[in-house]
Chain A
Amino acid sequence: MGRKRDIIIAALVLLGLWEALSLLLNSMALPEPWVVLADVVAKTADGSLLDDLLVSCLRALLGIFLALITAVPLGLVIGAEEPLRRRLSPFIYLLYPIPHVVLLPLIIILFGIGNFSKIFLIALIVFFQILVTTRDAARNIHQNYYYSMQTLGASRLQVYVHVILPACLPKILTAMRISIGTAVAILFFVESFATTRGLGYIIMDSWGRADYTALYSGIFAMALLGFGLYLILDRLERKVCRWTQLD
């Protein structure tokens, strides 16, 4: 209950600041929040906004999912297997800082201009965030846990299942939380080309037409998308990492 109240207060404070800034600037570039909210309600009622929200949501989720199923196993193995870590870490250090967005032309050549290129670029960018966090989490597992498993006669695969993965899970979820923010931000970029659907398209298109109400409706929906994904992740964390929530 307290958490819900805090969220409502935060939303009201942000809307209040928005309203104040809008009144202060008195510019078309920042319409008042109630105008935008009315637009959001109207577009939700006729289904047009929901359609774009759904498309963007799917692109973001598939991108994160693709990154997750590749970066988590790789991060666990690199983190837990010292020889592999020594050999592969330099590759990560060299590739991680590259602004992966600039690879877009190459990605389009490889995968075309369809949905997969958009999803792939999201996946590529969040891949490194999840990979580095998972690797560091696996590297820092206390040696005592490995000894405990050794005394119980565990195979290496059993060590991964019962120690390495569960020990890293809280950090993996943190990486996913960061990834949601990144993925939603990249949506704006990937949906600005070769598409007529998605919140990024709505924002870019409205911007081009100087329709600032529609532009902020798109931004509002994007914030809602990120917020919804955070809530889902919070619920998931409470379920799979119950032991971190206890005192």
Chain B
Amino acid sequence: MDISTIILTLVWGVAIGCVYILLATGLNIIFGVMKLVNFAHGQLLMIGAYLTWTLTVTFGLNAYLAIVFTMPIVAVLGIAVERLTFRRILGTDKLNEIFISLGLIYIFENVALLIWGDRSKQIISPFNNMILDLSSISITYDRVVAVVVVVLALVAFGLLIKKTKIGLAMQATSQKDTAAQLMGVNIEKIYMITFALGAALAACAGGLYGIIFSFNYQIGAMPTIIGFAIIILGGLGSIKGAIVGGLLYGIAEQLATLFLGGIWGSAVAFALLIVVLIVRPKGIFGVKGE
């Protein structure tokens, strides 16, 4: 095994890690602002991938342009989900979130199965089969573009959180919702925007996922779990932590796949997650006493 294989694996790990970072960021703000755990987040990624595929195939759109159109559609879906289900159980037993998410997973996956069928699909991007050749390493353009798209999306997201009034209100709500409410923040509106943002990020991740990998209706579950693993590795509520965690995870998964074989990738990653959780039940950077 020469050094270029390892470098290539690292580069792949970064590209895949970027997709997971987007998903994890969405999960992270939903958890941060609403204190809600949406186990069905990966299914929004799956829906995003399918919608992007439909837009490119039926309307002949450029795949990356299709992602831009997919994001608001999934954001609206996210709003509907938040309004109809999660808002009604906010403040009840924490286990109810898990139950609702499971119901949503069953609904989303099987509706997708009915609409799009059970054959695997892949989104054909304009850079299909184009390879960036750097002497000993060659990687596909799509993976490079994926990294660029993720960086752009994260920068835009960061600006939204730090520089706008809505972002400020979201930060306030995440610190203490009742206090934010007393300061005149309409927290129900903030919850809605937060969920829509998270869903849009998941849709973007889904489009990129569908360009890099082939996908079917069942792909949502693993990315959700990986997203949680990343959040826990990087620290709850921290976007920087999610980025570091995502890159670490992507590289670890690719290295495990390279050295041990494909099936071990997720097992190794989970072993890592379980060890972290058992040693530090609230995550590496988790706050004590929540």
Chain B associates with chain A: no
